[in-house]
Amino acid sequence: GADVRANETRTAASSTQVTSNTKTEKPDPKPEKTEDHLCRLCFDKDIDCVLVDCGHLVTCYACGLKLFMGTPLCPVCRKPIKQLVKTFKT
């Protein structure tokens, strides 16, 4: 009886230790791609341009050009778009 309970306690303690060691591993260096990085218009490409004057980062360059050539208003704040600046992430 007592030997079995002592063995079960040691096994449970070992399992807890393994679990806590797993949590201390380094996180994956590459973050998963989420919708936060996707163009708010096409939801297909990464956001890679800034709208000038307001500074919002909401579109890919292709969608930014379409906006600029059509009705040049920021889809977030509705301020006029004076220029597009392509951005690059490292």
In CATH, what number is assigned to the domain containing residue 72? 3.30.40.10
pLDDT for 76 beyond 70: yes
pLDDT for 17 beyond 90: no
pLDDT for 15 beyond 50: no
In percent, how much of the chain has pLDDT > 70?
Answer: 62
Total domains, the chain:
1
Domain extent for 80: 2-86
* Average confidence (pLDDT) over 12-40: 61
Per residue in 50-67, pLDDT (tens digit) is: 999 999 999 999 999 999
Beta carbons within 8 Å of 53's beta carbon, 6+ residues apart: 79, 80, 81, 82, 83
The confidence band for 90, taking pLDDT boundaries of 50, 70 and 90, is: confident
Question: SS in 3 state form for the chain?
Answer: CHHHHHHHHHHHHHHHHHHHHHHCCCCCCCCCCCHHHECCCCCCCECCEEEECCCCCCECHHHHHHHHHCCCECCCCCCECCEEEECCCC
pTM score:
0.60
